[in-house]
Every structure is written in C-alpha cells, then in structure tokens.
Amino acid sequence: MFARAISVLNHEPSFLIWDLRKKVIMNIFRKDQKGFTLIELLVVIAIIGILSSVVLASLNTARQRARVAANQASLGGVLPAAVICMDDGQNLGSVADGGAGATPVAGAAVCFGSSADWPTLTTTGTWTYGCGVDAPAQDVAVGNGTFTFCASGDGTNEISCSETGCIKDDVL
C-alpha cells in the first residue's frame, strides 16, 4: 500500500500541470525576443501623429484668440485718451490726416494735441483699423458726443470701441 501511494505521488497530475504552466510562462518571457515588431512601432507612430495634429489645431485656435485679446487690450488702452479728446471737442484720427475724423493710423496721435498714440495692432494675421461690413460705421468725429472706432482681422474677428469700452464681435 505504501508503494502504491508513492507511485501516485510520482504521477500526480498537479506536477504535470505545474510543468506545463512553467513552460508557458517561460515562453512569454523568452530571452531571445528583443525589441518591438514593425507593426507595433507603426501603430505607435500613427497614434502620436494623430494626437499631435489635434494639439496643433487647438494651438492655432488659441493663438488666434490671443491675438484678439492683445488687440482688444491695446485698443482699450487708448480709450481714456479718446475720451479726453472727445471732452476737448477734438476729432479722433491721425494728425497726419489733420485729425479730421480719418481712420486711425498706428503710431499717430489720437487727436490733435494728444500725447497718446494709436496702438500698433498685432503684426501676425491681417489686423487693420476700420470696421468690417457687418459692423456699425466708424465714427471718429466727436461732434455728437460719441465716437466709434474699430479694428478687424483674421477674417472673422472685429473689435468695436466706443466711449463705453471695447467689445469683440464675431463676423461670419
């Protein structure tokens, strides 16, 4: 009977299963397989390419918004000088044009006798002074106690400024 028990232990199926598991595990972690396959590398490169294109598209939108914000801040900075000109009865415009209500020119005085200059708009993009097609007309003559001047650029953005402040309008 004792011999039979030893015989069963020698041929027990659990030892065979352990042997099979050991072989499978060793095959998974083979020492001769080094690096990645070509397909794995191509898949990773494709994923990186897709992600980078999404990031660049978002970055372009953020740059455009930053240009709008910079121009709006620049135009908002000239408002106090424009209000002083309005209070003094001076038309807004460039001194080069005689300050006679002409379209503002970057670097020129806000009005005759003013030490403040019209700001230079961002050079990136297509920003210029003047109202777009859908905006109210530019009114830099201060005879009626109000004024409006605009800057538009990047095809879909416009900033309108009046004595109360500057606002951004989307032009579609």
pLDDT of residue 45: 97
Domain segments of the chain: what residues?
A: 38-170
Tens-digit pLDDT profile for residues 115-126: 888 888 887 777
Distance of CA 109 to the CA centre of its chain: 32
In 3D, which of 142, 149, 165 has the Cα closest to residue 87? 142
If pLDDT is split at 50, 70 and 90, which confidence band does 1 have?
very low
Place of tokens 């990186």: 48
Give the predicted TM-score (pTM) of the model. Answer: 0.61
Strand order in the sheet with 148-153: 128-129, 148-153, 157-162, 165-170
